[in-house]
Amino acid sequence: MAPKLPPQHNLQHSSTAVADGQAHHAHPAQPKGILRWLLTTNHKEIGSLYLIFSLTMFFIGGIFALVVRAELFQPGLQLVNPEFFNQMTTMHGLIMVFAAVMPAFTGLANWMIPLQIGAPDMALPRLNNFSFWLLPVAFTLLLSTLLMPGGGPNFGWTFYAPLSTTYAPPSTTFFILALHIAGISSILGAINIIATILNMRAPGMRLMDMPLFVWTWLITAFLLIAVMPVLAGVITMMLMDINFGTSFFDAAGGGDPVLFQHLFWFFGHPEVYIMILPAFGIVSAIIPTFARKPLFGYASMVYATAAIALLSFLVWAHHMFVVGLPLVAELFFMYTTMLIAVPTGVKVFNWVTTLFRGSISFESPMLFALAFVVLFTIGGFSGLMLAIAPADFQYHDTYFVVAHFHYVLVPGAIFAIMAGVYYWLPKWTGHYPNERLAQWHFWFSIIGVNLTFFPMHFAGLAGMPRRIPDYALQFADFNMLSSIGAFFFGTSQLIFVLVIVLCVRGGKKAPAKAWEGAEDLEWTVPSPAPLHTFETPPVFHRSSH
């Protein structure tokens, strides 16, 4: 699938790009210092801002998780009171979903989509600046609720009514506002990405020539446009229930709390694919590069992604098997959920087949991508177990669910983001990341992740409920292992920061085509990519796939 450009053309083109960039930016009006970052409309700078923001939030959300794990290290209540524990579980989820994973993918999209389709920038650069700067506002507001009287949100990241309405702390109105702002940010980002992909591709690049990262992001952006307004609607209804006396979710006034769950998961299930589809795209770029083979089944990858996105609208009630759904609905949602395993299986098959008889090398991006394939598949299998409605009656709201979604989100989404960062760092900084440190980071992470989340399967199957600060004694060993793993994993992420800092400051120089097997358009511009690239659109040459 990857476009193959004649090297001489690339070099020629790159040099003109550099010259253009310099000529363009000789004028003195370019703001300096903090204003440069506040006012930038450059997709690369905004991409970096998104990624730095996301990394910061990853650590803040991580600290919240460590508070939770520290409390659960031993049975009994030791460190924090249950009210604060609830705020920590809630904030950990909210921050990781909305402030770490989603902005990281948007950052990667900002950096890489214009480079991969041969566009000079995003379609709407000023809107791009606005979407980013909404995020620090939203999450400063959200984090500040922890300091308010009554504390921050304590109802779980799923904020089920009436916990989040009738019984919520007074700060909930700020939580709603923060989520509105974050939602507007992702919606604007999605519009920008769709407008860029549909209108700004290099001449000759058809949709079916686009790299898979671009494809998966296009589909993700459509999902965002379809479901973020539903989230906005739900939290607006909450706002009205809390402040204006309506009864959307209040049975006393004729409302229905179950309606909240339907609306929330109608947003929430596509949301989990929003957090994984771009990861599929990253892995689909890395595996062919380091297997030195074109991706197996490009077209089936595109159709599988689209199928997953469509099916994601038909499965929401599998989160609600125990609310008292009629048997017909239980069966319907059980079968549609299991159906998702088919396109996902196609993807895993394609990745494995790409590896088959490839000339594989194991640099850090590839290690993370391979770990993604294996561990995400484990998360997929536990998802299939949870999809079985009668079995879910046992698993529901236990640590088995926690194990499942952490397997698809941590060694799933987050490992893919890290793989992408290691893969594209040479393009961003002009230096290779320190491979030895990156390998340490990988091995510590993979041990930490499995030590943290694997025992949760057993604790959950044995009946340990989630979101509770204390537990019965028989779960003590599993929890101690999980807590040790969590601190091990959390600490080892400092290596990640170290690698990035070192890589920005120096290191082995990277050529334009930093990886031997890398074929997409971004590898035709010099490393580091100059501020302005593809000001004259590149000529796209189609390879046969």
Partner 1 sequence: MQNRQQAQAAGVRRTVIRSLAALLGMFAFAFALVPLYDVFCRITGINGKVDATAQSIVHEEVDTSRYVNVQFITRGSAGLPWQMSVEMRQMSVHPGQTAEVDFTFSNNSPYETWGRAVPSVSPSNATRHLRKVSCFCFEEQQLQGDERLTIPLVFQLARDLPEEINTITLVYTLYPVQETLRHTSLNGTRNNKKAARETI
- Residue with the two structure tokens 């109608």: 266
Q: Cα–Cα distance between 298 and 296 in angstroms, integer? A: 6
Residue 229 is a binding residue for partner 1 (CB under 8 A): yes
Nearest to 25 by CA among 34, 36, 35, 14: 36
Residue 123 is a binding residue for partner 1 (CB under 8 A): yes
- Is 250 among the residues known to form the active site? no
Q: To the nearest whole angstrom, how small is the minimum distance from the Cβ of residue 108 to partner 1?
A: 21
Q: Cα–Cα distance between 503 and 484 in angstroms, integer? A: 30
Q: To the nearest whole angstrom, how small is the minimum distance from the Cβ of residue 90 to partner 1?
A: 23
Helix, coil or strand: residue 31: coil
Residue 214 is a binding residue for partner 1 (CB under 8 A): no
Number of neighbours of residue 79 by Cβ within 10 angstroms: 14
- Is 513 among the residues known to form the active site? no
Q: To the nearest whole angstrom, how small is the minimum distance from the Cβ of residue 46 to partner 1?
A: 17
Number of residues that make up the chain: 545
Interface residue with partner 1 among 144, 199, 243, 359 (CB under 8 A) is 199
Active-site choice (43, 44, 69, 269)? 269
Q: Cα–Cα distance between 79 and 331 in angstroms, integer? A: 43
Active-site choice (20, 37, 41, 157)? 157
State which residue, 73 or 332, has the beta carbon closest to partner 1.
332
Whether the upstream peptide bond of residue 162 has omega within 30° of 0, thus cis, is: yes
Interface residue with partner 1 among 20, 256, 397, 435 (CB under 8 A) is 256
Convert 25-64 to b/e letters by CB count within 10 Å (16 or more is b): eeeeeeeeeeeebeebebbbbbbbbbbebbbebbbbbbeb
- Whether residue 197 contacts residue 218, with contact meaning beta carbons closer than 8 Å, is answered with yes
Interface residue with partner 1 among 52, 60, 146, 259 (CB under 8 A) is 259
Q: Is the dihedral of CA 18, 24, 26, 28 positive or negative?
A: negative
Q: Cα–Cα distance between 113 and 42 in angstroms, integer? A: 13
Interface residue with partner 1 among 124, 341, 348, 385 (CB under 8 A) is 124
Q: Cα–Cα distance between 523 and 521 in angstroms, integer? A: 5
State which residue, 116 or 445, has the beta carbon closest to partner 1.
116
Residue 324 is a binding residue for partner 1 (CB under 8 A): yes
Q: To the nearest whole angstrom, how small is the minimum distance from the Cβ of residue 202 to partner 1?
A: 11
Interface residue with partner 1 among 72, 134, 219, 230 (CB under 8 A) is 230
Interface residue with partner 1 among 163, 234, 510, 512 (CB under 8 A) is 234
- Is 92 among the residues known to form the active site? yes
- Whether residue 453 contacts residue 407, with contact meaning beta carbons closer than 8 Å, is answered with yes
Interface residue with partner 1 among 39, 198, 299, 472 (CB under 8 A) is 198
- Is 361 among the residues known to form the active site? no
Burial of 516 (0-12, 13-18, 19+ CB in 10 A): exposed
State which residue, 120 or 490, has the beta carbon closest to partner 1.
120
Nearest to 43 by CA among 199, 201, 186, 189: 189
- Is 492 among the residues known to form the active site? no
- Is 318 among the residues known to form the active site? yes
Question: What are the residues binding partner 1 (CB under 8 A)?
Answer: 123-124, 187, 190-191, 194-195, 198-200, 203, 225-230, 232-234, 237, 248, 251-253, 256, 258-259, 262-263, 266, 324-327, 329, 537
Which active-site residues does the annotation give? 92, 121, 157, 185-186, 269, 271, 273, 284, 318-319, 344, 347, 466
